[in-house]
Amino acid sequence: MNNVPDEAVRIDDDSTISYTELVAASGVSEQVVREMMSYGVLTPRGGDAATWTFTMHSLLVVRKAQRLQRDFELDTHAVTVVLRYLERIETLEAQIRSLRAQMR
């Protein structure tokens, strides 16, 4: 397991990144990014590859996917399934925190 931190990225909810920038910043191949798009993990804005943009959150998703592939030797489809479950867990944990806050 590689514990070297990825390059720090400032995440701004309003910031976007182009398809080319996403591929370059994530360090994964275009094929992997396109597979993640086909599995619904990444959703571009824009009509074609020349105008696609992504939220900065997408960069975090791709980097997380890369770590999962590397650390657990998963293929892209398996990684997308894991990412969906992780997202669902995060959503449920946020709901639990909100409910606990309401009870106080």
Q: State the average pLDDT for the chain.
A: 88
Segment among 11-20, 44-53, 74-83, 87-96 with least mean pLDDT? 11-20
Model confidence, pTM = 0.79
Is residue 7, in this structure, part of any structural domain at all? no
Spatial neighbors of 16 by CB under 8 A, at least 6 apart, are: 45, 53, 54, 55, 56
Tokens of 39: 């599995």
Comparing CA positions, the residue from 74, 8, 4, 3 lying closest to residue 41 is 74
Q: Is residue 50 part of a domain?
A: yes
CA–CA separation, 33 and 17 (whole Å): 13
Residue 62 lies in a domain: yes
- Ramachandran sector of residue 17 (left: φ over 0; alpha: ψ -120 to 50; beta: rest): beta
Residue 45 lies in a domain: yes
The answer, yes or no, to whether residue 74 has pLDDT greater than 60, is yes
Structural domain includes residue 92 = yes
Partners of residue 65 on adjacent β-strands? none
